[in-house]
Structure formats: structure tokens, C-alpha cells
Structure 1
Amino acid sequence: MELKIRKAQITDLDKISAIEAECFPPEEAASKEKYTWRLANYPDYFIVGEAEGEIVGVVCMIPMATPVIDDDIFEMEKVPMGTVCAVLSVMTAAAWQKQGVAEQMLNAAVETARQLDMTSMALTCKEHLIHYYARFGFEKQGISASVHGGAVWYDMVKTL
């Protein structure tokens, strides 16, 4: 199954928020308000994947100047800039998981970052996902300074 991947639109936010609620516990999930802010400020960095006419995958990114993610990036107070592409969310709707959606979305995210002249990509993930992101060329940097949602996160970086 091949996804139709496109930039997110304001009309997608209800579905994006629903997928977020399926993928993350409430203390880690971004609000619809945060997604609205990210889409308004970084429309080129926010992509969705469609299958059978519905959104089934989401990648939300944002540019930053630091090499790894810190918790400030999750707030809406400043508009960061830089050449590092922070991957804030990689999500697949529950009914579509384990069907290659995230793989297609991540490949599209890497291509998007390259087209936007980013020099690297950074993300945080839980320990059980380190090997997954390594398949896409992300290298583990160690335990992250981020304590977002009270979880233990690991920094992963990919040079573009």
C-alpha cells in the first residue's frame, strides 16, 4: 500500500488530534492548539499520509538551531529557526499500524528536510524504538535531557 503524502492543512487537525490520542498517553500528547500553532508557523514541515481517502500517518517537524531536542521545543512561545529538523511526532492511526505507514512517512520526512536545506534531523524516542529509528540512519546519542511527559527519552540524530 502506497500512501499519498502531502502537507497538512488546517482541516486535517481533528484527525491529527485523534491519531495523537491513539499514539501517546495524555501527559505526552500534543494538544490541538499546539498542532494549530505548529501548522501556522511551519506549514512546510508538517506532513500527512492518506490511504483510502483518510489520514493514516502524520509527521510533525520544526526547525531548530540546537543539535538535539530539549523541552523548550514543545512550547509555543518562540518561533525557532535553524538547520536542524526536529521531528516532534511520528504517528500512525491504530488501524493502520504494522503496515509500513511510519516507514513511508519517515522516508518522506527525510526528503522534506533535505528539500528545506536542513543539515540534520533530531528526534527523541523511547528505548524500545531506538532500533526502529536506526533503520533510517538515526544514531543514538544517549539519554535525552528532555523529560517531556515524565518519560525517559533517547536522543537520535541523522546527518543529511
Structure 2
Amino acid sequence: MSKENTDKKMFERYEFRNIHMEEISQAAEIEKICFPPNEACTYKHMEERIKKARELFLVAVDRDTGKIVGFLNGLATNREHLTDDFFEDADVHEADGRNIMLLGLDVLPEYRCQGLARELMRQYLEREKQKGRKRVVLTCLPDKVRMYEKFGFEDHGIGESVWGGEAWYEMSIILNE
């Protein structure tokens, strides 16, 4: 199947858009499914992020069910590195910040291995590039480094974050010089 046909099928099956305020519970539940308790964002923190930076939540909605099946979210900042305060304090969001700190890529298990995470990332990066953002930074565990490298991110080794008691690799991608 050609890339064009794959892309067409992706858009036929899913709607990609910003999150709606009434979808906070859905997002918080997906987060609990996708991350272990020590790493998952709480309902309270999810609500604060959505209220502060709803435009930085890109969701994939299954057109058949009308439910969110995956999302990508972040906060804008002028800071260069992702630290744990981004996970807990939405007030660090600077709407006109030149960088985006990605805080989660969530795809429900039954929707994985179909290119959905790749498409969410592709759209998110393109959207933020068009807004003039400089770079996107994320942290991940060692088993996800290769996946993010395939998305175009550069591995910078172990970063500053110790969120959830883990050692996280910091990765980034340049959108605009």
C-alpha cells in the first residue's frame, strides 16, 4: 500500500484536532492506561494542562466510536531542558515560548502498531513548526529511544528529569533555526 493510501486511510479512520474541555476525563483515563501509576499524569494535572494549553493537545478520535484513542500534549517555554516541574505545574507554560516540552504521547493499546503515534507526532511537529517554534523536547525510557529517533529526534543521553523515580533520556528535534 502506498504512503498516500496509508495517509488517506488514517484520515478516514481518525479525526485529528485539539482536545475539548469536556474530554479531560477521557484523557486522564487514557493516561492511566498508557503509563504506570508512578509516571501517569493525575486528573488534576491533566485538567490544569488542558485549561492552560489546550492548543498543545492534539488528539486522535476514532470516527466510528467518537472516542479519543490517542493524544500528544506539551507546554510551551523558553527553557531548553525538560525538568520535572513541567509534569506538575501547568503555570510554567509560556504561551509564546519558543520551545515545546512534550509531556506525553498516549495511544491506547488496541490502537498501537498502526502508525497512529507516528501520525500524531508528524502533525504535532508540523503544526508547531508553522507557529514558529524552535524546538521540541521530550523525555523517554531507554526502550522508546529508537522509536523517537525514527521520528527525527536526537538522543542527548540521560536528562535532568527523575519523574516517577526513573532515569529519562532527553531527546529533541529542531523545527526552526
Using structure 2 for the length normalisation, give the TM-score.
0.86
> Match of 2:89, SS?
coil
In 1, are the aligned partners of 2:82 and 2:137 still within 8 Å (CA)? yes
Conserved 8 A contact 2:48-2:90: no
The alignment partner of 1:134 has SS state of: helix
Pairing of 1:21-32 with structure 2 (within 5 A): 21-32=32-43
The Cα offsets for residues 42-93 of structure 1, whole Å up to 9 and x where unpaired, read as: 1111110012222111101110122220111112263332211111000001
Please tell me whether Structure 1 or Structure 2 has the larger radius of gyration of its CA atoms.
2
In the alignment, the residues of structure 2 paired with residue 150 and residue 98 of structure 1 have an alpha-carbon distance, to the nearest angstrom, of 28
Q: Which residue of structure 1 aligns with residue 57 of structure 2?
A: 46
Query: Is the alpha carbon distance of 1:77 and 1:58 closer, same or farther for their aligned partners in structure 2, counting shifts above 3 Å?
Result: closer
Deviations 1:19-55 (A, max 9, x none): 1111111111001111111111111111100122221
Is the alpha carbon distance of 1:14 and 1:78 closer, same or farther for their aligned partners in structure 2, counting shifts above 3 Å? closer
* Equivalent position to 2:122, from 82, 107, 115: 107
1:34 is aligned, of 23, 41, 45, to 45
Match in the other structure for 1:18: 29
More helix by share: 2
Please, which runs of 5 or more residues in structure 2 have no aligned partner? Answer: 1-8
Q: Residue type matched to 1:86 in 2? A: M
- Partner residue of 1:57? 70
Tell me what 1:79 maps to. 92
Give the gaps of 5 or more residues in structure 1: none
Q: Number of paired residues?
A: 160
Give the residue type in structure 2 aligned to 1:63. A
| Identical aligned residues as a percent | 29
* Separation in structure 1 between the aligned mates of residue 49 and residue 171 of structure 2, nearest angstrom: 21
Deviation string 1:74-130 (CA, Å, 9 cap, x unpaired) is: 122633322111110000012111111111111111022113321000000011111
Contact 1:65 1:80 in 2 (8 A): no
CA distance in 2, matches of 1:76, 1:130: 25
Aligned equivalents of 2:129, 2:55: Cα separation in 1: 12
Structure with higher RCO (Cα < 8 A, 6+ apart): 1
- Tell me which of 150, 154, 157 is aligned to 1:135: 150
Task: Compute the RMSD of aligned alpha carbons.
Answer: 1.3
Describe the SS at the equivalent of 2:37.
coil
Q: Is structure 2 residue 109 aligned with structure 1 residue 94?
A: yes
